[in-house]
Each structure stands twice: as C-alpha cells, then as structure tokens.
Amino acid sequence: MAYENILYDVKDGIATITFNRPKALNALNGALLAELGEALDGIAADENIRVLILTGAGEKSFVAGADISELATFDSLKAKAFAAKGHAIIGKLQSLPIAVIAAVNGFALGGGTEIAIACDFIYASENAKFGQPEINLGVVPGFGGTQRLPRLIGANMAKELIFTGKMIEADEALQLGLANKVVPPEGLMDEVLNTAGVIASKGKVSLRAAKQAVNNGLDVDLANGCRLEIDAFSLCYASPDAREGTSAFLEKRQPEFKGSL
C-alpha cells in the first residue's frame, strides 16, 4: 500500500512507521492519521510482525503535535470528531498484541507526546523535547495526554507540564520515567533496533500475555490485577512455547519459540 504521510517498512519481523511530513515537523493532519490507522490495522492482522517502532522523518522532530492549520478551522463538533478519531487510533496502537517502541528523535509535542506515551516504552535522542503545549493554543490535550501522562509520571508533574505548556529536555524525561533511555541522535535507531531484536526473539504468546497483563492491570486494583496475571500465566501453557522454553533451559540450548497468537 502506498502512503503519502508515513513511511512503512518491515524487516525481520520488525515494522517501522516513520511519520513523514518533515516540512511541518511531522505534524499530524487528518490524512496522516488515516494512514496511521490503516497501517496499524495491517500490523494487527500480520502474524509475522513481532515489534513495531515509531519514529519521525528528519533530524528535528518526532511529531510536533496536531497540525495547527487544521485545528484553526475547527468548531466544537469538528474538534470532538477529530479528538475521537485520534483516541480511536491511539487506542489501537496501545492495544496491539506486539511490543511498540517510540524512537523519539526530536520534538514530541502535544499529539507527539501523546503517541509516544501510548507506546510500550520510549527511547529518546539527546535532542528530544517533550511537552503538552496545547494550553498555549487555548485548548487542552486531545489525544490522551490528560489521562496517560498522569498515569505515567504522576498527577502533579503532568499537571505542571499541561498547565504551563513548557517543553522538557530528554534528560528530564529520563528522570521522570517518561523515556527509558537517552542516546546520541546518530545511535538512536541502532539502540532501538537492538532492543526490538531481543524482544522479537521471544515467544509471541508470552509477550502478548505480558503486555495485556501490565496494560489491563493498570486499570484495576491490585487484587484484580493479580487475578489477571494468574490467567495470563496459565494462558501461556496453551502454547507450545511454554514447553519449548522450559525444555530448552533444561537441555542447555536456546529456545525456538513458534507459538502463534
């Protein structure tokens, strides 16, 4: 499928989506969001893809937020439809049954931070900058920032970022637990691909079960979360991977995971 606003590539079970509107710092317009939604549907249906990486084209930006020239034309109803569409796509991203890594290579503002924090984790380049600047435009985050950011970095710090609209540097994002790792720009993709390769070598069924247990567990209390883990653990034994992993350990060899979803 030909895309105009994203680049899509798959190699060795690792898919990469690159937001590709570098002249607008990869701002999210309606056309880009539609292409992102289609690409995510294709990935969800593809048994061979083990990991998805999201990054931005050019050296300056991951995603500089929603396209402000489109936001400027909204009335209340259009704003609601746009925010709902963004939530549906970001929800799709978050619930993919594979690992999703954000390789944040520059500005991740507004919708850019919101996409990055819906991924499983973030590796950032030293020049990355995060923020929720919507308040400077007279609006609030509309793609999940008021909900996912407090869950990730705590309510008070999220409120400070959302109320001030200020940007934070990569090292502060690391301190806050927003980014897992910060690396020089030229090393970012190698670092991300290295971790993606490690994850791609694991069993699909156990990876999916682990992701669902963590994600769904965050929405419930500890006792119910632990029940989710019991189910996730037992579900793994429906796949030959559990037998293969434990046998490989006892036979002192590397496991070959082949279980399907």
Which one-letter amino acid corresponds to residue 51?
Answer: V
Q: Least distance to ligand CO8 from the beta carbon of 105, Å? A: 13
The verdict on whether 229 is a catalytic residue reads: no
Closer CB to ligand CO8, 27 or 40, in the complex:
27
User: Do 112 and 62 contact (CB within 8 A), yes or no?
Assistant: yes
Comparison of 67 and 120: residue with beta carbon closer to ligand CO8: 67
How far apart, in Å, are the Cα atoms of 67 and each of 26, 134, 136, 160, 214? 9, 12, 14, 24, 32
Provide, rounded to whole angstroms, the least separation between the CB of residue 136 and ligand CO8.
Answer: 6
Binding site for ligand CO8 (CB under 6 A): 24-25, 27, 64-69, 79, 82-83, 86, 107, 109-111, 133-134, 137, 141-143
| Adjacent-strand bridge partners of 181 | 123
Residue 206 in tokens: 């156990």
Residue 259 in contact with residue 203, Cβ under 8 Å?
yes
Nearer to ligand CO8, 120 or 134 (CB): 134
**Measured from the CB of residue 189, what is the shortest distance to ligand CO8 in angstroms?**
21
- The nearest distance, CB 179 to ligand CO8, in angstroms, is 18
- Residue 134 annotated as catalytic: yes
Q: In this complex, which beta carbon is closest to ligand CO8, that of residue 131 or of residue 259?
A: 131
Three-state secondary structure call for residue 51: strand
Enumerate the active-site residues: 114, 134
